[in-house]
Amino acid sequence: MRNDTKSEPTQGHGTEAILFGLVPMGDPRTAAEALHELQLLAETADFSPAGCMVQHRRHADPHTYFGSGKLEELAEVIKLAHSGAVICDDSLTPTQARNIETALGVPVLDRSELILQIFGMHARTPQAKFQVELAALQYEMPRLRRRWTHLERQRGGIGVRGGAGEKQIDVDRDLLRTRIAAVSKELKRIEQHKIREVEARPELFTIALVGYTNAGKSSLLNRLTDAGVLAENRLFSTLDTRTRPWRLSGGRTVLLTDTVGFLRKLPHQLVASFHATLEEALHADLLLVLVDGSSPEATDQLRAVDEVLEMLGAGGLPRITVMNKLDLIGDRTSLAPLWQLEPRAIPVSVLTGEGMPDLMAAIQNYLASVENRVELLLPHSAGALHGEIRAKATVLSEFYTEEGCLMEIQVSPALLGRLLAEGARVATESDRPPSAPEAPRPE
């Protein structure tokens, strides 16, 4: 597709940009504080933030976002700083973006477009690339007319319209619709494959790591599983879901899944497009919700995670909230707002290991609360199940008798049903020889 004569940066390439946005009336934060996350996003996209500007007002102007006076002030700042672009902290309507660009004379990016660029930079697998492309196409569709301002529509009279610009827009719109349909079809195929893949392992307990971007999910996955997943101190260092086996103390294995990070004001196109990637989280037995406890915006980030989970239909899944990065917190009283929001949250430092035993205990306690505790007799004829039990269930005790192996285990209902179908049976008093130790009673 052709573009406007005014070049718009697809990536920053070091372009100096002025950041701007709205803050609520009475908000005491400075412009730099209010736009701190936008600055991180801009730097991730290789822009060079040259300044920040905010306006205190309840609602954005429907035509120009800023008020006219503030927009003129922004234009002066751009001239003085010789900036090559401006970036808005909110999603702009096509009308707002076109009017701001006309008034300022430089390319305008909004928050959604910036995030889409970052996702495009970090997409590696075919699935991630398709997801980002679909979101970008859906974002682009209502903005086609802005791209064609150099070919104004020709009017030959009342009700008569024509001209090369309008015709090219129609061609581009048809091309977009065709490509959206093709990408959607491919993503649907991937999603169905992902669902089948997840459903093929119902007997393994699955834990999904979710949370705000850069909260430390990949670092936790690496610490627990030696996964070797890329873990950088930057936003969206990875977009792909990774699932690794995690061997608990006692030999049992569970699955641990790392997911794409969430973000405030995440474009709805991305949430929809990444539904397949987040299929692992939607089918998890337990969520570990990580939050960067050292961030001054930790409570807002945690609320943003809750909002995205609700959008995905995963808001009701059981969870353990994990406050990460204790090593960066000098004054622990700063965690008070988080404690009020999540009184049972577990503070840890994935980097130093502080608090990790408490997290392990919380996971084990949750397993004990949702699984069956039962005493089974595993006959010699069903001895092949012994290794599977040790790998997929928690063995509390075992004792060998003439009849087979007497095992006290903590097990999921799905696995218990199959064990009973394949030769194991619930033990009775007659199965226990006089010399066997007294087994704990089922809870």
How is the chain split into domains, by residue range?
16-120, 124-198, 202-368, 371-431
Contact 235, 41 (CB under 8 A): yes
Query: Do the beta carbons of residue 363 and residue 338 sit within 8 Å?
Result: no
Query: What pLDDT sits at residue 60?
Result: 95
What's the pLDDT at 3? 40
Which among 119, 152, 151 has a CA at the least distance from the CA of 45?
A: 119
Give the per-residue pLDDT at 193: 82
HEC profile of 62-129? CCCECCHHHHHHHHHHHHHHCCCEEEECCCCCHHHHHHHHHHHCCCEECHHHHHHHHHHHHCCCHHHH
Percent of the chain with pLDDT over 90: 48
Asked whether the predicted pLDDT for residue 350 surpasses 50, the reply is yes
> How much is the pLDDT for 114?
92
90 burial (CB, 10 Å; 0-12 / 13-18 / 19+) is middle
Asked whether the domain spanning 202-368 has the same topology as the one spanning 16-120, the reply is yes
User: Mutual orientation of helices 68-81 and 94-104 as an angle, nearest 10°?
Assistant: 50
Q: Are 38 and 21 in contact (CB under 8 A)?
A: yes
Residue linked to tokens 């430092």: 349
Tell which residue, 54, 51, 109, 110, has the closest CA to residue 82. Answer: 51
- How far apart are the C-alpha atoms of 413 and 422, rounded to whole Å? 14
Architecture of domain 371-431: 2-Layer Sandwich (3.30)
Give the C-alpha separation, 139 to 146, whole Å: 12
**Residue ranges of E strands in 35-186:** 48-56, 85-88, 108-109, 154-157, 160-162
Kindly report, residue by residue over 193-204, the tens digit of the pLDDT: 877 776 766 678
Q: Is 46 left (phi over 0), alpha (psi -120 to 50) or beta?
A: left
d(CA 55, CA 66): 7
- What's the N-to-C CA distance of the chain in angstroms? 66
> What distance in Å separates the CA atoms of residue 323 and residue 294, rounded to the nearest whole number?
9
16-120 under CATH 3.40.50.11060, yes or no: yes
Least reliable range by pLDDT among 60-64, 201-205, 393-397: 201-205
Residue 249's pLDDT band, with cuts at 50, 70 and 90, is: confident
User: Which residue is listed with tokens 């995963």?
Assistant: 314
H or E element at residue 100? helix 94-104
Question: Is residue 118's pLDDT more than 80?
Answer: yes
Strands 16-23 and 85-88: parallel
Helix (H, G, I), strand (E, B) or coil at 87: strand
Burial readout 124-149 (b: 16 or more C-beta within 10 A, e: otherwise): eeebbebbbbbbbbbbbeeebebbbe
Type of residue at 126: P
pTM greater than the 0.75 cutoff:
yes
Res. 41: pLDDT tops 50: yes
Per-residue pLDDT at 154: 37
Out of 146-150, 313-317, 430-434, pick the least confident. 146-150
Read off the pLDDT of residues 276-326 as tens digits, 9 standing for 90 and up: 566 667 778 999 999 999 998 899 999 989 988 888 788 889 999 999 999
pLDDT band at 228 (very low <50, low <70, confident <90, very high): low
The Cα–Cα gap between 25 and 17 comes to: 25
Lowest-confidence segment of 68-77, 110-119, 146-155, 168-177 by average pLDDT: 146-155
What is the Cα–Cα distance from 389 to 396, expressed in whole angstroms?
11
Give residue for tokens 């610009």. Answer: 165
Instruction: Name the helix (H) or strand (E) containing 319.
Output: strand 319-324
CA atoms within 13 A on the CB side of 295: 19
Q: How many angstroms separate the CA atoms of 342 and 321, rounded? A: 7
Calpha distance 27→422 (Å, rounded): 64
* 362: amino acid identity, one letter: A
- The CATH fold assigned to 202-368 is Rossmann fold (3.40.50)
Where is pLDDT greater, at 51 or 155? 51
- Phi first, then psi: give them for residue 239, nearest 5 degrees: -115, -15
